[in-house]
Amino acid sequence: MDRTMWLSMMGLMSLQSQRLPVLLDRLYELWEKYRGSSSSHATVEVPGYEESSHDSNEIYRSVRTYLSSLVAAANAPTVSIARQKRTTEPVFNLPPNHTVNDEFQGAQMSWEHHVPDEKHETGRESKYILKISHTDRVRVLSSYIDHISQTAENLERRRRERKLFSNGKIGGGGGWRSASFRHPSTFETLALQPSLKEKILLDLDNFKKSRDFYRRTGRAWKRGYLLYGPPGTGKSSLIAAIANHMSYDVYYLELSMVSNNADLSQLLLETKSKSVIVIEDIDCAAADLPARDSCDQSHNEGTARRSSAITLSGLLNFADGLWSSCGEEKIMIFTTNYKDRLDPALLRSGRMDMHICLSYCEFEAFKQLVCNYLEGLQEHLLFPSVEEKMKSGGRLTPADICEILFQHKSDPDSAIKAVVHALEGAVSETVIDSSQG
C-alpha cells in the first residue's frame, strides 16, 4: 500500500470517528421516539410556567397541592415537609425527581416531580410528569384534571388561616375588619342529639356538592339557617362548627352599625364566596326596623328620611334579593331566642331554609359534654339518674352543664353528682310552674 492510499484511509477513519457519536445519538433519539409511540402508556407534562406567555401555570399549582395529600398518605421513602405563612397545618411535598402513584375511576397512574436542577425546584424548568395508559388518557384525563383542581381548591381553603370579620360604620372607618378565626368547635365535640347533628351535616355536605344543581335551576348558590332556642343552648358553638366543617370565613354582621339599606348592600357585596354570614338575635335587630313600606308613607318626610335607616324590605333583600346572589357558596345564619317574634316574610324558604331548634340539654348531648370535659369519660354509675331526671322535666342548658363540669373537671364523681343535684332542682321548679299554671 503506497503512502497516498494509506493517508486516505486514515483520513476516512478519522472522519467516521468524529461523526459516529452524532449518528449514535440520532439513532437513540429515533429509538426513544419509536418506543414512546409503541408504548401502552402516554406521558402528560405539566410545566411550572406556560411557555408562550411565561405566566405561572395554575394547573401546576393545583397538581402540587393535590399531590401533597397523596405524599402525606403514601409510604414514600423520601418526602419534604413545609409550613407556609397563614396556614394551619404542614404540607407534604413530592421531592424533586421522585414519584408517587394515584388511582382515579379505576385508572392507575404515576406522577414524577421532574426538576433538572434540584437547586432550582421552583424555577421554570420544574414540571410534573404524569404517566397514564393511552386508553385511560382518553377515558378519564379530562375529569381527572377537574378532580385535581377541585381537590386542590378544597385543600388550600382548609389549610389557610380563616378569618372572622366584623363591620363598623361605613364612612367612619367602617366596612369589614378581620381577625384570625380559631374557634375550636367541631361537630365531633358539639353537644347535639345525634339525629340532629346528622341532619345538619347531611344538609351542609349536600349544599357544598350542589353547584351544578343551583346553576341548572337558576338559584343563587346560598343557604339560610335559623337557629332558635333559649340562651345558652349552643347557637354560637354550632355556627363555629359549621364554619370549621365547611372551611369558610365568618362575617359577623352588626345591624346597629349599618346606617341604611345601601350600606347594607355594600357590605354584602364585600363578602367573599365560601363564607358564613351571621346575624345574631335577629328578633331584636328586626324589631326596630321600619316596616317594608313605612319609609314611603309620606313625601313630606323627604328622601333623606327614606335613606337614613335600614328597613325590613332592605333586610329581606339582603337575605334573598338580587344583591344576595353576588358571589357563590354562601351560608347565612340567623339566631333568635324567640322565633315567634319574627316577621313571617323572614322565615320563608329562600331566606331561612332550615330551622334548627336548639333547646335544653338531652341525655346524648350530655354524654358528649362529659366526654369533652372529663377526659373522655364514656360511662358512669350515675348516668341512669341523669337520664331519669331529664325525662322527668329537669331542664338545664348545655351552658349550665358545661359550667358544672368545668368546676369539677378534676373529680368526675363530684361533677356527675353536681349535675344530678342541679337537675333535681330544675325538676322541682318545673313542678311548681305546672301547679301555678
Cα dihedral value 320, 324, 327, 332, nearest 10: -60
| Residue 236 within any structural domain of the chain | yes
Is the per-residue pLDDT at 97 higher than 90? no
pLDDT of the residue at 380: 94
Clarify whether residues 55 and 92 are in a common domain: yes
Choose among 296, 309, 177, 292: nearest CA to 256: 309
Which range has the worst mean pLDDT, 26-30, 118-122, 297-301, 330-334? 297-301
Clarify whether residues 72 and 35 are in a common domain: yes
Clarify whether residues 132 and 226 are in a common domain: no
| Residue 24 within any structural domain of the chain | no
pLDDT per position as a tens digit, 24-43: 566 656 655 555 555 677 88
| Residue 252 within any structural domain of the chain | yes
Clarify whether residues 292 and 218 are in a common domain: yes
pLDDT per position as a tens digit, 123-138: 557 889 999 988 888 8
Clarify whether residues 326 and 385 are in a common domain: no
Contact 332, 321 (CB under 8 A): no
Clarify whether residues 143 and 169 are in a common domain: no
| Residue 89 within any structural domain of the chain | yes
Clarify whether residues 184 and 69 are in a common domain: no
Q: HEC profile for the chain? A: CCHHHHHHHHHHHHHHHHHHHHHHHHHHHHHHHHHHHHCCEEEEEEECECCCCCCECHHHHHHHHHHHHHHHHCCCCCCEEECCCCECCCEEECCCCCEEEEEECCEEEEEEEECCCHHHCCCCCCEEEEEEEHHHHHHHHHHHHHHHHHHHHHHHHHHECCEEEEEECCCCCCEEEEEECCCCCCCCCCCCCHHHHHHHHHHHHHHHCCHHHHHHHCCCCEEEEEEECCCCCCHHHHHHHHHHHHCCEEEECCHHHCCCHHHHHHHHHCCCCCEEEEECCHHHHHHCCCCCCHHHCCHHHHHHHHCCCCCHHHHHHHHHCHHHHCCCCEEEEEEECCHHHCCHHHHCCCCCCEEEECCCCCHHHHHHHHHHHCCCCCCCCCHHHHHHHHHCCCCCCHHHHHHHHHHCCCCHHHHHHHHHHHHHHHHHHHHHHHHHC
Clarify whether residues 134 and 208 are in a common domain: no
User: What average pLDDT score do residues 47-73 get?
Assistant: 79
Of 334, 357, 380, which one is at a domain's C-terminal end? Answer: 357
Is the per-residue pLDDT at 76 higher than 80? no
Clarify whether residues 200 and 88 are in a common domain: no
CATH number, domain with residue 224: 3.40.50.300
Q: State the CB neighbour count (10 A cutoff) for residue 184.
A: 9
**Number of domains observed in the structure of the chain:** 3
| Residue 432 within any structural domain of the chain | yes
Of 312, 339, 357, which one is at a domain's C-terminal end? Answer: 357
Confidence of residue 345 (pLDDT cuts 50, 70, 90): confident
Is the per-residue pLDDT at 307 higher than 60? no
Domain of residue 400 covers 363-436
Could you give the percent of the chain with pLDDT greater than 70?
74
Clarify whether residues 311 and 370 are in a common domain: no
| Residue 25 within any structural domain of the chain | no
Q: Specify the pairing of strand 80-82 against strand 249-252.
A: unpaired
Of 159, 194, 218, which one is at a domain's C-terminal end? Answer: 159
Which range has the worst mean pLDDT, 58-67, 317-326, 327-336? 317-326
Which range has the worst mean pLDDT, 28-37, 205-214, 284-293? 28-37
Structure-block grid coordinates of residue 244: 370549621
| Residue 218 within any structural domain of the chain | yes
Clarify whether residues 393 and 299 are in a common domain: no
Q: HEC profile for 63-97? A: HHHHHHHHHHHCCCCCCEEECCCCECCCEEECCCC
User: CA separation (Å) from 342 to 80, 81, 285, 288, 335?
Assistant: 55, 52, 10, 12, 11
Confidence of residue 386 (pLDDT cuts 50, 70, 90): very high
Beta partners for 232?
none
Clarify whether residues 146 and 168 are in a common domain: no
| Residue 12 within any structural domain of the chain | no
Structure-block grid coordinates of residue 136: 385511560
Is the overall model pTM greater than 0.75, yes or no?
no
Q: Specify the pairing of strand 354-357 against strand 249-252.
A: unpaired
